[in-house]
């Protein structure tokens, strides 16, 4: 399966691109994409059945009305219209589609049904993001948007997939921790495709980062595999760590191990708690 980078390079490596959704309103996303592509040197076609002209150019009612077949189509319409345009692409043999969407809460053109139709028809689809995030030269605002979406996992089919070793959930690359289990993700699950541990138990709650480092060292020395729940959430909400302790809103991190080694881990870490208590009393 092609990565997002490969799909973007292939799409933007074409010559003729149609933009569905261009209108007489110049500030629409479709119009900005249309102007960007035209300025960059692409042969662009505006698609809108309700307009005769847009951006000073002829506006076509559908893809079959174009004077030449497009190499790819950017769809910037309501999701319920996206499927109709995908069907037109399938009938005309247009092999590339980019469904526009920036932040999910703002909506966009992505339709799960339309994506499935693309896959069925052998059409390469980029389901989300915006060509202006990748079409050079990229303006500052779209560079920031691309970076933020990459950080939050909002870009479509980011390069690689991550898994939660506890619940087995799948995430796009760019997300490092399962929001439900609050533990670090891994690149692959065991061969059977299921979490290696069926049950995890908390055996230690360090009160500061020094304790966490010592506990990790002890477990690793004993060959006990562990996960740290909440370690990566300490700097959330902009308040970070308070003193040498942990984020007062997110709470402390928790060290978890497989249930089959719970007793061994507890005994090992009990010595750590005793040593730390002795240090505090002297």
Nearest to 266 by CA among 213, 204, 223, 222: 204
**Are 177 and 276 members of one domain?**
no
**Are 139 and 206 members of one domain?**
no
**Are 99 and 237 members of one domain?**
no
Number of domains in the chain: 3
Sign of CA dihedral 146, 150, 155, 158: positive
Residues 6+ apart with CB under 8 A from 119: 125
**Are 182 and 229 members of one domain?**
no
**Are 47 and 99 members of one domain?**
yes
pTM for the complete prediction?
0.58
**Are 205 and 192 members of one domain?**
no
Q: What is the pLDDT along the chain (282 residues), one digit of tens a residue?
A: 577 888 999 999 999 999 999 998 777 899 999 999 999 999 999 999 999 999 999 999 999 999 999 999 999 999 999 999 999 999 999 999 999 998 766 778 988 889 889 989 999 999 999 999 999 999 988 888 887 777 666 677 544 566 777 777 776 544 566 766 767 667 666 655 444 445 788 998 887 777 888 888 888 888 888 888 776 554 444 444 444 455 445 566 788 888 888 999 998 888 776 655 555 555
**Are 145 and 227 members of one domain?**
no
Structure tokens given for 86: 């995908």
**Are 27 and 138 members of one domain?**
yes
**Are 192 and 204 members of one domain?**
no
**Are 116 and 178 members of one domain?**
no
Domain boundaries, position 170: 160-196
């Amino acid at each position: 399966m092609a990565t997002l980078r490969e799909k973007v390079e292939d799409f933007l490596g074409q010559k003729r691109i149609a933009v569905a959704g261009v209108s007489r309103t110049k500030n629409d996303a479709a119009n900005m994409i249309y102007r960007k592509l035209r300025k960059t040197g692409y042969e662009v076609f505006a698609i809108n059945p309700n307009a005769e002209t847009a951006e000073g150019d002829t506006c076509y009612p559908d893809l079959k009305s174009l004077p030449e077949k497009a190499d790819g189509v950017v769809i910037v319409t309501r999701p319920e219209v996206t499927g109709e345009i995908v069907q037109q692409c399938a009938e005309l043999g247009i092999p590339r589609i980019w469904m526009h969407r920036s932040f999910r809460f703002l909506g966009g053109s992505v339709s799960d049904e339309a994506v499935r139709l693309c896959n069925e028809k052998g059409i390469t689809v980029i389901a989300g993001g915006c060509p202006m995030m990748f079409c050079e030269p990229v303006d500052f605002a779209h560079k920031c948007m691309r970076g933020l979406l990459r950080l939050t996992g909002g870009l479509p089919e980011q390069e690689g997939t991550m898994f939660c070793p506890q619940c087995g959930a799948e995430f796009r690359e760019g997300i490092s921790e399962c929001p439900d289990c609050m533990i670090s993700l891994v690149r692959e699950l065991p061969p059977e495709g299921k979490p290696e541990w069926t049950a995890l138990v908390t055996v230690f709650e360090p009160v500061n980062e020094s304790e966490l480092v010592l506990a990790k060292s002890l477990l690793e020395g004993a060959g006990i595999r562990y996960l740290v729940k909440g370690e990566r959430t300490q700097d959330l909400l902009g308040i970070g760590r308070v003193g040498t302790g942990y984020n007062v809103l997110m709470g402390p991190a928790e060290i978890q191990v497989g249930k089959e080694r719970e007793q061994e881990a507890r005994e090992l870490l009990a010595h750590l708690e005793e040593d730390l208590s002795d240090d505090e009393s002297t």
